[in-house]
Amino acid sequence: MNKDLIDIRELSREEIDELVDVAEDIMLHPEKYAEKCKGRKLATLFYEPSTRTRLSFESAMYELGGSVIGFSDAGSSSAAKGESVADTARTVECFADIIAMRHPKEGAPYVAANSVSIPVINAGDGGHNHPTQTLTDLLTIHKEKGRFEDLVIGCCGDLKFGRTVHSLIAAMSRYDNVKFVLISPEELKVPENVKTDILEKNGVDFVETKSLEGAMPNLDILYMTRVQRERFFNEADYVRLKDTYILTPKKLQNAKYDLSILHPLPRVNEISVDVDKDPRASYFRQVRNGKYIRMALMMKLMGVD
Ligand code: NCD
């Protein structure tokens, strides 16, 4: 196992299975884990907005008996004075045992990881990757479907800038008989490198389509995403594309009875609130899972038994 977690592919399938097992055990027996990280400190360095990722990391460390320092606004850190990511990481290493970093620049957590000897976890880097969201998604898939194999996964929305989709595709492409239906407008299709370096390289079956309704009947998992406004070059394009897909109860009429609807959240308009009461809506259960898998991950990276 690497010192850090920057890209989900750094974890083997066996390591993912182990993290999922530990997370499920924590859910059943939280008291066993209440002091596992006593005396240890997590630093959350968030240069971009976050609700779930940062708060789940922080709750995870508190529930392991540890403590938390950090910032949630780059403007309140020395980044505003021009400090480099490497220097900030080296400073934080003097105070903390593990770092979770979110940054708008792709590769920033990798730079931090190479500058310090403590573990660094990528909590989202630009439009690139978001491995701990993927661990959250994997735990959710495991709990909801009971398997990682034999699944048709529809990813819908902003597949170009959506980092969670890139990491999910990378992780799920390693399992047997997984098929992807990539549902997006032309402008927001999955980047070419995700297709060539991940899907085609692994011989994964995938189709690209614009039609959510057309794809719906075949899906075991529907992974909805928000159009990533902050990564657009102009507001007019965002406004034109933002409401391309809105999932409603009507659109679910042809879906499988055991479909799981996932969304990394935050939701803007892409899932109508009327869908929330459908038992297939898994996205708030998904949020809860995020804390447990991050507990398992931090223990593993810090070598806690
Ligand atoms: C996602 C992210 O930050 O990439 N959110 C999250 O971490 N749960 C998805 C998004 O912001 O759309």
Question: Mean pLDDT, the chain, as a whole number?
Answer: 97
Please tell me the distance from the alpha carbon of residue 60 to that of residue 238, in angstroms, as a whole number: 34
Query: What number of CA atoms fall less than 13 Å from residue 121's CA on the CB side?
Result: 29
Consecutive H or E run containing 291: helix 283-301
Rounded CA gap, 302 and 298, in Å?
Answer: 6
**Mean pLDDT for the stretch of residues 27-42:** 98
Q: Is 130 in the pocket of ligand 1 (CB under 6 A)?
A: yes
DSSP state of 78: G
Pocket test for ligand 1, best of 53, 224, 227 (most atoms within 8 A of CB): 53
- Taking 90 as the threshold, does the pLDDT of residue 230 lie above it? yes
How far apart are the C-alpha atoms of 281 and 294, rounded to whole Å? 22
Q: Write the pLDDT tens digit of every residue in 78-105.
A: 999 999 999 999 999 999 999 999 999 9
Give Cα 77 distance to the centre of its chain: 25
Residue 102 is encoded by which pair of tokens?
């979110």
Query: Residue 181: what are its φ and ψ, rounded to 5°?
Result: -115, 115
Report how far apart the first and last C-alpha atoms of the chain are (Å, whole number). Answer: 14
- Per-residue pLDDT band for 1 (boundaries 50, 70, 90) equals confident
Over residues 236-249, the pLDDT tens digits come to: 999 999 999 999 99
Rounded mean pLDDT, 41-59: 97
User: For ligand 1, atom 12, which residue shows the shortest CA distance?
Assistant: 226
**Tokens at 121, concatenated:** 């976890």
pLDDT of 32 higher than 90: yes
pLDDT for 82 equals 94
**Predicted pLDDT at 305:** 86
Q: Give the integer Cα–Cα distance in Å for 212 and 174.
A: 25
Q: How much is the pLDDT for 280?
A: 98
- For residues 122 and 112, what is the distance between their CA atoms, to the nearest angstrom? 10
Q: How far apart are CA 87 and CA 116, in angstroms?
A: 9
State the distance from the centre of ligand 1 to the C-alpha of 51, rounded, in angstroms: 9
- Cβ of residue 265 lying under 6 Å from some atom of ligand 1: yes
CB atoms within 10 A of CB 129: 25
Question: What is the C-alpha separation between 283 and 270, in angstroms, rounded?
Answer: 13
In this structure, the number of other CB atoms found within 10 A of the CB of residue 291 comes to 22
Distances (CA, A) of 12 to 61, 91, 93, 134, 153: 24, 31, 27, 14, 21
Share of the chain above pLDDT 70, in %: 100
Above 90 in pLDDT, residue 218?
A: yes
Q: How far apart are CA 239 and CA 59, in angstroms?
A: 35
pLDDT of residue 60: 98
In angstroms, the Cα distances linking 304 to 38, 44, 113, 248, 297 are 10, 19, 19, 44, 10
Percent of the chain topping pLDDT 90:
99
CB 124 near ligand 1, within 6 Å = yes
142 in contact with ligand 1, CB cutoff 6 A? no
Convert the pLDDT of each residue in 183-195 to its tens digit. 999 999 999 999 9
* Type of residue numbered 50: S
